[in-house]
Homo-oligomer: A and B are copies of this chain.
Amino acid sequence: MKESWSAFDTFEPHFRPLVIIELAKDTKEETKEWLTQRIVDKKKKEGAQLLVKPLVKEDGGKIDGNQNLYLVGASHLRLLLGAETVGLVKECNDNSMRTFTYSSRNTFKDFAEDNHDFLTMAERQYIIKHELENLRAKDERMIPGYPQAKLYPGKSIMRRLMTSGILLQIFPLHDTEELKKLWYTWCGQVKISYQPLDEIRCYFGETIALYFGFLEYFTFALVPMALIGIPYYVFAWEDYDKYVMFASFNLLWSTVILEVWKRCCAIMTYRWGTLLMKRQFEEPRPGFHGVLGINPVTGKEEPVYSSIKRQIRIYLVSLPFVCLCLYFSLYVMMIYFELETWALDFHEENESYFSKLMLFLPSIIYAIVIEMMNRVYRYAAEFLTSWENHRLESSHQNHLILKVLVFNFLNCFASLFYIAFVLFDMKLLRQSLATLLITSQILNQFVEALLPYWLQKRHNKKVKKRVYSIKVDTDLSLFEQVNLEKEMGTYLGTFDDYLELFLQFGYVSLFSCVVFKRPFSQPTANIGVWQLAFETMSVISVVTNCALIGLSPQVNALFPDSKTDLILIVVLAEHILLALKFVMAFVIPDKPRDIQIKLARLEFESLEALKQQQMKLAAESLKEETHGEKKMN
């Protein structure tokens, strides 16, 4: 009975597919059999105990070109046990958040044995991904059929398959119905004020929901600035004191915004359960390589790479390279200014409609060159970061973000700095700002949203044609869908979206991720290194704004005699503002009081449970050893 259970499930044709595995076309049969068997095998036999079946057409026959696609799912019970393994945190009947355990399942809100929506789609897919990635080699020394693809006990099978080129991709399936519903609540309604963050989180997971949450929060947080700015434009206030007040308000407000975001973030992630989720031990990222050694943390065999070697690569290769690129970028900027001067001279010498157009040419060329350099540099940064061979995905990401951020920052803002503080040309500053912003916005929208959308459309037609040409059928939807999605681009995380938001502080392509393959959910409790980036930006903005105020003619008019006094006062104001920012960041708690209390309560309860357990043990020990103690005295 026990033995037949998993076999029975394997050929169960009606389970709901959640994740797709695509193998290479020339994968050997024995490998496929071994892999599916390992996925289906029970936990006792160190399998993943999931359900799997090849993608087939309705009439049951395999299609030649597509026998490499497998649908993976799991029984409801298996998913619940998986939720316990990954440490999901769900809401209880008493409105507190607790780590889900199967034995206490009935105390959780909305739990019912037949409620298959207790876990969100994103969570179910995350569980399956986690179980697949944690499918580990037992005594196999290699992947069957591929003697060169070595395995060692405890090595993740999926990662080895991936690095050996046998496994092409694993991706979660879009759910067209849910997606339609999500689309409707998102933008089908008239009001566009609030985004359905909870629904987004259910479908795409926490990382993407947090991104949209941040986007929405940021948009609303900027409203007070805009409102206060209105009278300045309407009444054309140009008084020194009002001007300074507005600027000071903005600078302090940006700190308040970022601190309050941490609180909002804590509230959201508490409700979603990720704030309480224990961090799992991180596996090496797929690209990580090294000689086989002993991991000092786990004590298990895994590739090991010397930290000193990595440090040398970072500080002696990557750092100089980045500096060189920054220098080159500044060099290009200087050329731009020469072009600008040349265009101005040309316009002055022979004024015409053409020469007027020519005035804008340098800025446009510069914007395009910047975009190109950004893209080239991005590839170089990705290559270098891979070459630095970071063990953890998170540290890889942080180093990549740092590299790209510094370069993007310099590229986008260096020319503005130069214009403002070296040329002192406020008119040119305004003009450049407008040109740069508009050009890069248009370019980005085109490259990131319209282009892939258009390519996808064309491709969809092709695939549809191909599919129809094989067999004209009305109910090929799943088969068709999988084949469509496997060709879609992979959404590479929220990196570019945050970067755009970071660089433009504006509105970005809202729905770009829909024409991408559905991304796996990644439980996160905050926006990570981006919080730091935005905070750094807000500190730098104090310095630049104080300098700009110091340069403004109105303020200069107040100190007709002494430039020195002016500078000293501006520097003093800047220091006070910076000090205020740090005090505010320190005084505003990162988590609201009720979340703090809830967290403390949870910690207290687990400590109490431990103490109760220990006291029981202690009482028993005391009883047992009384006699011995007595003899000793």
A298 touches B622 (CB 8 A): no
Surface stretch bound by B, among A53-61, A195-203, A230-238, A598-606: A598-606
Q: Mark A75-106, 1 if CB is under 8 A from B, else 0.
A: 11110010011000000000000000111000
Q: Mark A573-617, 1 if CB is under 8 A from B, else 0.
A: 001000000000000000001000100110110010001001101
Surface stretch bound by B, among A184-192, A503-511, A625-633: A625-633
Nearest-neighbour CB distance to chain B for A106, whole angstroms, equals 13
Residues of chain B lying within 8 A (CB to CB) of residue A78: 622
B567 touches A597 (CB 8 A): no
A164 at the interface (CB under 8 A from B): no
A2 at the interface (CB under 8 A from B): yes
Q: A567-B564, A567-B567, A607-B280 are in contact. Are A622 and B85 (CB under 8 A)?
A: no
Q: A85-B611, A296-B597 are in contact. Are A75 and B629 (CB under 8 A)?
A: yes
Q: A567 contacts which of B1, B43, B568 (Cβ < 8 Å)?
A: B568
In the complex, A462→B565 CA distance in Å? Answer: 67
A5 at the interface (CB under 8 A from B): yes
Classify the interface of chain A: helix, strand, loop or mixed: helix
Q: Mark A485-509, 1 if CB is under 8 A from B, else 0.
A: 0000000000000000000000000
A278 at the interface (CB under 8 A from B): yes
In the complex, A472→B523 CA distance in Å? Answer: 75
Residues 38 to 74 of chain A near chain B (Cβ within 8 Å): 42-44, 49
B615 touches A43 (CB 8 A): yes
Residues of chain B lying within 8 A (CB to CB) of residue A626: 1-2, 5
Residues 1 to 30 of chain A near chain B (Cβ within 8 Å): 1-2, 5, 8, 12
B567 touches A77 (CB 8 A): no
Q: A618 contacts which of B102, B281, B297, B614 (Cβ < 8 Å)?
A: B102
Residues of chain B lying within 8 A (CB to CB) of residue A618: 43, 81, 84-85, 102
B614 touches A84 (CB 8 A): yes
Residues of chain B lying within 8 A (CB to CB) of residue A611: 85
B564 touches A623 (CB 8 A): no
A621 touches B81 (CB 8 A): yes
Residues of chain B lying within 8 A (CB to CB) of residue A563: 563-564
A interface, size bucket: 35 or more
In the complex, A599→B1 CA distance in Å? Answer: 45
Q: A618-B81, A626-B2, A633-B12 are in contact. Are A297 and B604 (CB under 8 A)?
A: yes
A543 at the interface (CB under 8 A from B): yes
Residues of chain B lying within 8 A (CB to CB) of residue A615: 43, 85
A593 touches B307 (CB 8 A): yes
In the complex, A15→B127 CA distance in Å? Answer: 58
In the complex, A603→B297 CA distance in Å? Answer: 9
Closest to A44 in B: B619
Q: Mark A247-270, 1 if CB is under 8 A from B, else 0.
A: 000000000000000000000000
Q: A604 contacts which of B8, B281, B307 (Cβ < 8 Å)?
A: B281
A571 at the interface (CB under 8 A from B): yes
In the complex, A298→B611 CA distance in Å? Answer: 14
Residues of chain B lying within 8 A (CB to CB) of residue A296: 597, 601
B280 touches A81 (CB 8 A): no
Q: A297-B604, A601-B296, A622-B49 are in contact. Are A617 and B567 (CB under 8 A)?
A: no
Q: A298 contacts which of B278, B564, B604, B614 (Cβ < 8 Å)?
A: B604
Nearest-neighbour CB distance to chain B for A343, whole angstroms, equals 31
Q: A281-B603, A633-B12 are in contact. Are A617 and B103 (CB under 8 A)?
A: yes
Closest to A567 in B: B567
In the complex, A77→B622 CA distance in Å? Answer: 8
In the complex, A629→B543 CA distance in Å? Answer: 65
In the complex, A280→B619 CA distance in Å? Answer: 21
13 A-B pairs with C-beta separation under 8 A: A1-B626, A42-B619, A49-B622, A75-B629, A77-B621, A81-B618, A85-B614, A85-B615, A85-B618, A102-B621, A563-B563, A564-B564, A567-B571
8 A-B pairs with least C-beta separation: A81-B618, A297-B600, A297-B601, A563-B564, A296-B597, A281-B604, A567-B567, A5-B626
